[in-house]
């Protein structure tokens, strides 16, 4: 099954107005002229969303947020509704990133509730899963990831509204990357889990991204694995030349 690749930048809590606008404009301009065969997405912090939306205007680069509330509106100080994200021009929202699972004790059940709220608001979701170093070293990586996928996906998840990102926690922001073979083993396992949880048709179409220190020097070998359908990229998405080089490698 041929799946269109997706290269997504997770800017995390980085950037101020002027440098972020410049980054988005550089990406938009390059994507407009190169017309890559993959889809491209950037996910800035909440406060930059509307500025970046404008900076991307006229390009096919999509916009995403990094989290959302499970609620539609109301007394939830500090939270952001998926309806507000949709209204701000977002196409996607990242949910269950390991930094949120760790910093905010987000459980898979909460991630699932947020995913359902986001789908109801008309957003697409990227659901992040991944094992810690201790879990990998004790041989539990596949089991942990399987549990997270089963418990985090929305009812109604399908290949048009949901993307999974496998991000081994020990590889995020550390410079350590899973070998293409180790990553592919987990991706193939996730696809089998999707057959059981959803259907064979959904499993064969749903994109599964790899995230964890993906950079220009390792992107090509990861992206050529049969079940790796793109990347969720943190550090290397903050420099336009690195991010654009990864996009080229995805072609």
Active site residues: 97, 167
User: How far is residue 243's CA from residue 226's CA, in Å, rounded to a whole number?
Assistant: 22
Q: Does 235 bind ligand PEP (CB under 6 A)?
A: yes
Binding piece for ligand PEP, criterion CB under 6 A, among 39-47, 76-84, 148-156, 210-218 = 210-218
Measured CA distances, 170 to 79, 102, 177, 219, 245 (Å): 28, 13, 8, 18, 24
Report, in Å, the least distance between residue 180 CB and ligand PEP: 16
Q: Could you tell me the smallest distance in angstroms from the CB atom of residue 178 to ligand PEP?
A: 11
Q: Does residue 96 bind ligand PEP (CB under 6 A)?
A: no
Binding of residue 10 to ligand PEP (CB under 6 A)? yes
Nearer to ligand PEP, 27 or 198 (CB): 27
Residues near 239 by Cβ (< 8 Å), separated by ≥ 6?
A: none
Residue 169 CB, nearest approach to ligand PEP (Å): 10
Q: Is residue 217 close enough to count as binding ligand PEP by CB under 6 A?
A: no
User: Rounded to 10 degrees, what is the CA torsion of 179, 185, 186, 188?
Assistant: 130
Q: Is 233 in the site for ligand PEP (CB under 6 A)?
A: yes
**Residue 167 interacts with ligand PEP (CB under 6 A)?**
yes
Taking residues 26 to 65 in sequence order and writing x for each that binds ligand PEP by CB under 6 A, - otherwise, the string is: ----------------------------------------
Residues contacting 233, CB < 8 A, separation 6+:
7, 8, 9, 10, 211, 214, 215, 243, 246
CA gap 95, 106 in Å, rounded: 10
Establish if 67 lies at the interface with ligand PEP (CB under 6 A).
no
CB of 74: closest distance to ligand PEP in angstroms?
A: 30
**Which of 44, 64, 212, 230 touches ligand PEP (CB under 6 A)?**
212
CA dist 146 and 96 (Å) reads 14
CA torsion angle for 142, 187, 161, 96 (degrees, to 10)?
50
Pairing outcome for strands 39-43 and 62-65: parallel
C-beta of 118 vs 126, nearer to ligand PEP: 126
Q: With contact defined as beta carbons under 8 Å apart, do 228 and 183 qualify?
A: yes
Interface of this chain with ligand PEP, residues 121 to 140, rule: CB under 6 A: none
Site residue total, ligand PEP (CB under 6 A): 14
Q: What's the rounded Cα separation, in Å, for the pair 115 and 132?
A: 23
Residues binding ligand PEP (CB under 6 A): 10, 12, 167, 172-173, 211-214, 232-236
């Amino acid at each position: 099954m041929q799946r269109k690749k997706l290269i997504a930048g997770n800017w995390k809590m980085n950037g101020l107005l002027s440098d972020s606008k410049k980054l988005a404009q550089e990406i938009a301009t390059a994507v407009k002229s190169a017309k890559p065969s993959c889809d491209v997405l950037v996910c800035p912090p909440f406060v930059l969303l509307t500025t970046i939306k404008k900076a991307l205007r006229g390009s096919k680069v999509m916009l995403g947020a990094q989290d959302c509330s499970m609620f539609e509106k109301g007394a939830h100080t500090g939270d952001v509704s998926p309806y507000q994200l949709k209204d701000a021009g977002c196409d996607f929202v990242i949910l269950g990133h390991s930094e949120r699972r760790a910093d905010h004790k987000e459980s898979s059940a909460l991630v699932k509730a947020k995913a359902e709220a986001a789908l109801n608001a008309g957003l697409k979701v990227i659901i992040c899963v991944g094992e810690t170093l201790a879990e990998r070293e004790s041989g539990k990586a596949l089991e942990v990831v399987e549990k997270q996928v089963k418990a985090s996906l929305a009812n109604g998840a399908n290949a048009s509204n949901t993307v999974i990102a496998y991000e081994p926690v020990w590889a995020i922001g550390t410079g350590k990357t899973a070998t293409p073979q180790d990553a592919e083993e987990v991706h193939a396992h996730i696809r089998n889990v999707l057959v059981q949880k959803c259907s064979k048709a959904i499993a064969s179409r749903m994109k599964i991204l790899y995230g964890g220190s993906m950079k220009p020097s390792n992107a090509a070998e990861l992206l050529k694995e049969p079940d790796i359908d793109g990347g969720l990229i943190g550090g290397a998405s903050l420099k336009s030349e690195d991010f654009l080089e990864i996009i080229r490698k995805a072609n």
